[in-house]
Amino acid sequence: MNYCLRCKVIVGGKASGKVLATKQPINFLSSVDPLTGMITDENHELCGNSVKKHVLVFPYAVGSSVGAYSIFALRSNHVSPLGIICTLKTDITTASGCAIANIPLLELCTDQVIPEIENFNEALVDGISGILQIKKV
């Protein structure tokens, strides 16, 4: 079953790709390899997965302020997520990183029923009208 979720648009643009979802926050500086996009932190549940060409769905970023450069580096190295969704709050690191990397960034509106967004479904990120569409595969 497919469904749509309303979102606040932080950085505009459109993208689509497979979902890579987690309920754990991410420290972009220490947990993601900027050259490959691989999540390398053994204490993270997504360890071993790559953010490359996915729509990353996560609560918010934590830790280093340099994480903003890390997001930009992922983009420069062609291994960034195609779009990013913050599920709890959009932090300054993710917002500023996506702003210079031109990665569409949306935050889920909290006044709606949000089903669990599952990995490897197809996500359509519409950062013009503020809609995240999830297509089950």
Partner 1 sequence: MFVRLSREEEDALDEKHGKATSLAYKILLAIGKATDAEKLIPVDWVHLSGVNYNTIGDAGVKFLREYSKGTRFRVPTTINPMGYDVQKQNNLSNNFKRSQIEIVKAYEKMGSIPSFSCIPYELFQLPDRGHNVSFAESNAAVIANLVFGLHTNKESSLSALASAVTGKTPYSDLRIESIRDPKIKVKIETKLDTELDYGLLGYFSGKSTKESCISFGKHTSNIDMYKTKSLAAALGTSGGCGMFSNKEVNGESISFGKEEEKSVMDELNTTESGDVIALGSPQLGTFELELLSDMINGKKFSKKCMIFCPRSIYEKACSSGIAQKLENAGGSLICDACTCLSPLLTNEEYDGVITNSVKAAHYLNKSNGVSVCLTDLKSIIRNYTR
Q: Which residues make up the interface to partner 1 (CB under 8 A)? A: 8-11, 25, 27, 29-31, 34, 40-41, 43, 59-69, 72-73, 75-77, 88-100, 105, 107
Catalytic residue among 64, 70, 80, 96: 64
What tokens does 95 get? 């917002």
Query: Partners of 78 in the beta sheet?
Result: none
CB of 72 to partner 1, least distance (A): 6
Compute φ and ψ for 28, nearest 5 degrees. -65, -30
Query: Partners of 125 in the beta sheet?
Result: 15, 132
CB of 118 to partner 1, least distance (A): 22
Q: Closest CB to partner 1 among 35 and 137?
A: 35
Q: How many CB atoms lie within 10 A of CB 47?
A: 12
Contact 27, 61 (CB under 8 A): yes
Whether 129 is a known active-site residue: answer no
CB of 119 to partner 1, least distance (A): 22
Picking from 101, 85, 98, the residue whose alpha carbon sits closest to that of residue 134 is 85
Element (H, E) at 100: helix 92-101
CB of 70 to partner 1, least distance (A): 8
Q: Catalytic residues, which ones?
A: 64
